């Protein structure tokens, strides 16, 4: 439990924007950290940030890379590469997801960790920003291998995570089961007497193992609160309106199911294997069952296959990107017919594409505002564990709704008053909170 973070030099590269309609590999999409930095810089300028605060937040506090061995079902041993980046903890313990993906890399983790810092600051959650993961494809491993990979990684992270230090959660390729394995491993390492006091080492656990009611669907629910606020302000009745969702995992499928209950129609969706459409409506609940059984939306009998370009060009009112980062380039922005883009994924939109969307009069509700439902309810889960409490679903959901709507209004008013786009407003609000803390506390010694 005493492994110390190793410092790895940052090597950001330039960020080419794909103009073709094909989804590209993450490696060829441009550097996510460079894009995240550009976004934050606009926020820094907007608040005329203090140079010392700017210097501190410009790089993550800790960047950890761990290579660790795991025995496969065949008996062979395979090496895995794991990451944990801790960006900033001035507001509270580092907090952020664990991603299992074959193209996971350090710069991606740095971008995602930084976004967590500003997301928590914007929503006034007393957490900092972290992100981690393992570079491998979880779909090509058995459940027993996934368990051994997760437990060995948790053990290797050692004291680099902790219930008051750094608290992981699910992200792409991980889920409640992954979190329960992480929790159980950590509990066994700290020993019997400490065991129950460290349950909050991770959030996003199953309800039976100490998770919160409402956590699984929280990100989708938060996105829908943003959509209903936007619709109300734009005098749009969602009943009978149409929407498309890219990615039908945790975030995409819950968004689709909750929005369908409000009377809106899911007309197209897609995942890593392809896209489907039905202008009469796809049944989001049945589709989620199909994905649960087959692992993908394709072959769903209620829809017909379409190309990626057809997906982006579908007639619809709302678009929710909920797959991976950098899926919405200039090419896709030209095709899009939606009136609003509500970012469920982290960093789905290239800066150049966002400019084009805004020029075209398409509103963009940025990721750190729209997809914060997950970290908000993670905070509620952490609080419940800390206080040995159990809140019912109604209480969790009403708290989430109040917080999402309050922060939506905060960003809207800030952007209007200071005449800036919503993304810059989100960073400016978060940065101001962080700056006030640094200026009050000073830099030790």
Tell me phi and psi for residue 5, to 5 degrees. Answer: -60, 135
C-alpha 138: how far from its chain's center?
18
Q: How far is the CB of 14 from ligand NAD (least distance, A)?
A: 22
200, 207 contact by CB (below 8 A): no
What is the distance between the alpha carbons of residues 71 and 69, in angstroms, rounded to a whole number?
A: 7
What is the distance between the alpha carbons of residues 309 and 14, in angstroms, rounded to a whole number?
A: 26
Q: How far is the CB of 318 from ligand NAD (least distance, A)?
A: 16
Q: How far is the CB of 20 from ligand NAD (least distance, A)?
A: 14
Longest dimension (CA), the chain: 65
Strand (E) positions, 3-127?
A: 62-71, 77-88, 94-101
* DSSP labels, 200-228: GGSSS--TTTTPPTTSTTHHHHHHHHHHH
Does residue 269 interact with ligand NAD by CB under 6 A? Answer: no
Q: Please pick, from the candidates 219, 255, 349, 424, the single residue that binds ligand NAD as defined by CB under 6 A.
A: 219
Q: Looking only at residues 303 through 362 of this chain, which bind ligand NAD when binding is defined by CB under 6 A?
A: 322-325, 344-346
What region does 17 belong to: left with phi over 0, alpha with psi -120 to 50, or beta?
beta
Q: How far is the CB of 251 from ligand NAD (least distance, A)?
A: 4
Q: Please pick, from the candidates 93, 130, 132, 170, the single residue that binds ligand NAD as defined by CB under 6 A.
A: 170
Which is closer to ligand NAD, CB of 324 or CB of 434? 324
Q: Which residue has the tokens 């689709």?
A: 256
Q: How far is the CB of 347 from ligand NAD (least distance, A)?
A: 7
Residues taking part in catalysis? 131
Which is closer to ligand NAD, CB of 312 or CB of 422? 312
Q: How far is the CB of 391 from ligand NAD (least distance, A)?
A: 18
What is the distance between the alpha carbons of residues 288 and 257, in angstroms, rounded to a whole number?
A: 8
Does residue 37 interact with ligand NAD by CB under 6 A? Answer: no
Q: How far is the CB of 268 from ligand NAD (least distance, A)?
A: 12
Q: Looking only at residues 12 through 31 of this chain, which bind ligand NAD when binding is defined by CB under 6 A?
A: 23
220, 233 contact by CB (below 8 A): no
Which is closer to ligand NAD, CB of 323 or CB of 420? 323
Which is closer to ligand NAD, CB of 123 or CB of 152? 123
How far from 102 is each of 10, 136, 297, 415, CA to CA, in Å?
Answer: 21, 4, 21, 38
Q: Please pick, from the candidates 171, 184, 317, 332, the single residue that binds ligand NAD as defined by CB under 6 A.
A: 171
Q: Please pick, from the candidates 31, 160, 250, 349, the single residue that binds ligand NAD as defined by CB under 6 A.
A: 250
Note the helical H segments in 158-197: 176-190
Which is closer to ligand NAD, CB of 14 or CB of 25? 25
Does residue 210 interact with ligand NAD by CB under 6 A? Answer: no
Stretch that binds ligand NAD, among 46-54, 266-274, 396-404, 411-419 (CB under 6 A): 266-274
Q: Looking only at residues 365 through 384 of this chain, which bind ligand NAD when binding is defined by CB under 6 A?
A: 371, 374
Does residue 130 interact with ligand NAD by CB under 6 A? Answer: no
What is the distance between the alpha carbons of residues 245 and 50, in angstroms, rounded to a whole number?
A: 40
Cβ burial of 287 (10 Å; 0-12, 13-18, 19+) is: buried
How far from 316 is each of 24, 234, 236, 300, CA to CA, in Å?
Answer: 24, 15, 13, 20
* Exposure of 259 in the CB half-sphere (CA atoms within 13 A): 37
Q: Please pick, from the candidates 42, 272, 335, 358, the single residue that binds ligand NAD as defined by CB under 6 A.
A: 272
Does residue 430 interact with ligand NAD by CB under 6 A? Answer: no
Which is closer to ligand NAD, CB of 89 or CB of 253? 253
Which is closer to ligand NAD, CB of 23 or CB of 260? 23
Count the site residues for ligand NAD by CB under 6 A.
Answer: 25
Does residue 107 interact with ligand NAD by CB under 6 A? Answer: no
Where on the chain is the footprint of ligand NAD (CB under 6 A)? 23, 170-173, 219, 246-252, 270-272, 322-325, 344-346, 371, 374
């Amino acid at each position: 439990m005493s492994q110390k973070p190793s410092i790895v030099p940052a090597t950001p590269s330039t960020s080419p924007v794909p103009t073709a309609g094909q989804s590209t590999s993450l490696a060829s999409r441009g550097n996510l950290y460079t894009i995240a930095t550009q976004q934050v810089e606009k926020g820094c300028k907007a608040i005329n940030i203090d140079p010392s605060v700017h210097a501190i937040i410009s790089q993550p506090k800790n960047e950890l890379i761990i290579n660790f061995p795991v025995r496969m079902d065949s008996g062979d041993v395979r090496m895995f590469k794991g990451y944990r980046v801790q960006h900033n903890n001035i507001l509270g313990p580092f907090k952020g997801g664990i991603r299992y993906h074959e193209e996971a890399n350090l710069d991606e983790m740095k971008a995602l960790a930084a976004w967590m810092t500003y997301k928590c600051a914007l929503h006034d959650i007393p957490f900092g920003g972290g992100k981690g993961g393992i570079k491998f494809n979880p779909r090509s491993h058995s459940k027993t291998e996934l368990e051994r990979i997760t437990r060995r990684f948790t053990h290797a992270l050692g004291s680099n995570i902790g219930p008051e230090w750094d608290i992981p959660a699910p992200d792409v390729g991980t889920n409640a089961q992954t979190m329960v394995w992480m929790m159980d491993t950590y509990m066994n390492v700290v020993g019997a007497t400490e065991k129950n006091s460290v349950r909050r080492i991770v959030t996003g656990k199953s309800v039976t193992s100490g998770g919160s009611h409402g956590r699984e669907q929280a990100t989708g629910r938060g996105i829908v609160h943003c959509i209903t606020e936007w619709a109300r302000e734009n005098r749009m009745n969602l009943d009978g309106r149409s929407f498309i969702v890219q990615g039908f995992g945790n975030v995409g499928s819950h968004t689709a199911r909750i929005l369908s209950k409000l009377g809106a129609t899911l007309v197209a969706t897609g995942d890593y294997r392809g896209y489907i459409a039905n202008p009469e409506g796809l049944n989001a609940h049945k589709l989620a069952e199909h994905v649960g059984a087959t692992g993908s939306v394709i072959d769903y009998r209620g829809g017909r296959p379409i190309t990626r370009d057809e997906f982006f060009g579908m007639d619809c009112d709302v678009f929710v990107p909920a797959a991976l980062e950098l899926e919405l380039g200039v090419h896709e922005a030209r095709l899009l017919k939606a009136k609003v883009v509500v970012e469920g994924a982290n960093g789905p939109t290239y800066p150049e594409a966002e400019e084009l969307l805004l020029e075209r009069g398409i509103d963009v509700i940025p990721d750190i505002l729209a997809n914060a439902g997950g970290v908000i309810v993670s905070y509620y889960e952490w609080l419940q564990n800390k206080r040995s409490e159990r809140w019912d679903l109604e209480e969790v959901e009403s708290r989430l709704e109040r917080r999402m709507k309050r922060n939506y209004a905060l960003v809207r008013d800030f952007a209007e008053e200071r005449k800036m786009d919503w993304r810059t407003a989100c960073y400016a609000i978060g940065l101001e909170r962080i700056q006030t803390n640094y200026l009050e506390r000073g830099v030790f010694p």
